[in-house]
Structure 1
């Protein structure tokens, strides 16, 4: 995907700290955490009728999803990458609909799709980050 999406998403999670020292695996975790945080904020803004703030939170979440799509490496596992790309695209489209329809259920749907991906990603530590086992 476009480099601008990844850079924008990176800037969004930069305020969380740890970005400068995070490895690529950690950066993806930060992006997912940032997206989930924006979903919570978007829902709260929606419930309170704060249209502009809701739209901004949803837009930032869509940018982060674009960054996640852009970070996919098709050489790693083409089938999985294609499925994740399609899922991230679907989530982005659902968020657009949530914003237009003012539908909190669609925000919940995206959150319920992204959370298990994030949780699984955290469990898959890169080999370099795993402690060495002495014989």
Structure 2
């Protein structure tokens, strides 16, 4: 099993850091959405294995990503789209906490569906 000190993980992190540094805001949102979907999948696996410490760390990463997505919204100038995304991210945050407290993988499914739809819509903006 790979750990934080594994050279492969260090390489992956360096590659991700480089991509993030070069990303424009549109690409950054796409990367965050992709990262959130990946982390939700990891959290689900930790829940299934009853690996509570790892699950907690993973859910925390998910919450940080959702917060990051929300912080990128321009609520003053973004109109109904920004407002709707803000409500959606708030829902995802609450659902992540519920899933974690209940250790319920099924509670992650609506988040995955919603974020997948947002990701698809975001990809179509290009």
> How does the TM-score come out when normalised to structure 2?
0.83
Could you list the runs of 5+ residues in structure 1 that have no partner in the other structure? 1-12, 126-135
After TM superposition, the runs of 4+ consecutive aligned structure 1 residues lying more than 6 A away are: none
Q: Which gives a bigger RCO, structure 1 or 2 (Cα 8 Å, sep 6+)?
A: 1
Name the structure 1 match of 2:111: 110
Q: How far apart, CA to CA, are the structure 1 residues paired with 2:26 and 2:84?
A: 19
Q: How far apart, CA to CA, are the structure 1 residues paired with 2:84 and 2:48?
A: 32
The alignment covers a number of residue pairs equal to: 113
Name the structure 2 match of 1:7: none
Structure 1 residue 116: Cα displacement? 0.8
Name the structure 1 match of 2:98: 97
Could you list the runs of 5+ residues in structure 2 that have no partner in the other structure? 1-12
Please report the RMSD computed on the Cα atoms of aligned residues, expressed in angstroms: 1.6
> How big is each residue's C-alpha offset from its partner over 1:43-93, in whole Å with a ceiling of 9 and x where there is no partner?
001001100111111111111000101101124431111111011001100
Cα distance change on mapping 1:92 and 1:18 into 2, 3 Å:
same
